[in-house]
């Protein structure tokens, strides 16, 4: 019977836990293991909570900084847009003033641009005619009539046998002479037909 009473305190425990014979009471060891696990779990929970709080704080700081940077960027963009708009408006006003001055009939140089453009091919002549019709000047009208006469003379000469071979050269020489006079602010009719051109096309 004595052997039965001692069962569970030595041999029985060794039978239940053959890997650790003679270790003692398994229930106390299990309890200790559970306590250790609980303690570790609590410790991990505290650390996780601490990390979460740190992450939350960092996120709030990042959000505040992002909001501040966004506000600064918005202000800078708004300022840059306003500066650009003001510069564009100023440039447009200056350009308008220059154009108005260029085509002002009271301006001594008025019509010079029109006169020069009228020498640059037939398209240039059409552009000059439109520009001069908006702000007609004597200088511009003079060279619009003269260049028209030169273009027509070149066409007529090109239809004449033999002479037609030199029509383009003659027309180019007359255009160059007329252009030089226009650039020098001189109203000089070409020799021979210049005065007739002014009379024939006086409606322009």
Distance CA 156, CA 204 (A): 21
Residues in the chain with pLDDT values less than 50: 1-2, 4-16, 23, 92, 95-96, 103, 105
pLDDT confidence of residue 42: 63
pLDDT confidence of residue 89: 63
pLDDT confidence of residue 134: 83
Cβ atoms within 10 Å, residue 157: 17
> Is the pTM above the cut of 0.85?
no
Q: What is the pLDDT of residues 118-175, one digit of tens each?
A: 999 889 999 999 988 888 888 999 999 999 999 999 999 988 888 888 888 989 999 9
pLDDT confidence of residue 8: 45
Q: Which residues contact 136 (CB under 8 A, 6 or more apart)?
A: 105
């Amino acid at each position: 019977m004595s052997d039965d009473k001692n069962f569970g305190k030595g041999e029985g425990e060794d039978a239940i836990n053959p890997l650790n014979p003679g270790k003692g009471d398994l229930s106390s060891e299990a309890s200790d293991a559970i306590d250790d696990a609980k303690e570790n779990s609590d410790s991990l929970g505290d650390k996780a909570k601490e990390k979460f709080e740190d992450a939350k704080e960092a996120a709030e700081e990042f959000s505040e900084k992002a909001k501040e940077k966004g506000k600064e960027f918005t202000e800078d963009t708004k300022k840059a847009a306003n500066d650009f708009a003001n510069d564009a408006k100023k440039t447009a006003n200056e350009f308008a003033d220059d154009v108005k001055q260029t085509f002002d009939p009271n301006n001594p140089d008025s019509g010079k641009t029109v006169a020069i453009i009228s020498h640059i091919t037939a398209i240039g002549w059409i552009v000059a005619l439109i520009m001069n019709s908006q702000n007609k000047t004597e200088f511009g009208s003079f060279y619009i009539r003269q260049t028209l006469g030169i273009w027509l003379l070149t066409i007529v000469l090109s239809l004449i046998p033999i002479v037609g071979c030199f029509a383009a050269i003659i027309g180019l020489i007359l255009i160059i002479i007329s252009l030089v006079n226009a650039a020098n602010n001189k109203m000089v009719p070409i020799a021979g037909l210049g005065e007739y051109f002014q009379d024939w096309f006086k409606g322009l």
